[in-house]
Amino acid sequence: MSSRNGGQWTDARFHSFVSSTLRAGSRRWPPKYACLAESKTEKKINVKTGRLAQHHLCAECGGEFVSKDVQVDHIKPVVDPKKGFISWDVYIDRMFCEQKNLQTLCKECHKIKSKKERDARKQNT
């Protein structure tokens, strides 16, 4: 039994609370902005809205996407699929990594990569 939040939260719930809080904070991590800025291609018409919009290059498929359709990916994932969660120290260290470990991916490519990482994690647990 957990003592978190007066015993109302399991350790798993606490873990996901802390990791989502850190993830939210990582949006303000400067190397993330730098990564997005570097992936900028050009302003052109967004085919979906008909408006001029900044586009970004996906490092995986090479397609160009508007800002809301790209995500900054950790090349080396925050949680190593082979080792699983080790400690918050390791987690924080890997989440707030330097720009060289970050890449811009379109949502689709990011989904595929995340799924591969999840599958690899399951095989190791």
Tell me the CA distances in angstroms from 112 to 17, 30, 74, 115, 118, one per residue in order: 24, 25, 13, 5, 10
We find the least distance from the C-beta atom of residue 55 to Zn ion, in angstroms, to be 12
Which member of 52, 61, 86, 120 binds Zn ion (CB under 5 A)? 61
CB under 5 A: which stretch of 37-45, 50-58, 76-84, 115-123 binds Zn ion? 50-58
Looking at 38-46, 47-55, 59-67, 76-84, which segment touches Zn ion (CB under 5 A)?
59-67
Helix (H) or strand (E) holding 13: helix 11-25
The region, left, alpha or beta by phi > 0 then psi within -120 to 50, assigned to residue 7 is left
Least distance between Zn ion and beta carbon 112 (Å): 9
Determine if 109 is a binding residue for Zn ion (CB under 5 A). yes
Which residues 67-106 are close enough to bind Zn ion by CB under 5 A?
A: 106
Contacts for 1 with CB less than 8 Å, ≥ 6 apart: 7
Count of residues in the chain: 125
Binding site for Zn ion (CB under 5 A): 58, 60-61, 106, 109
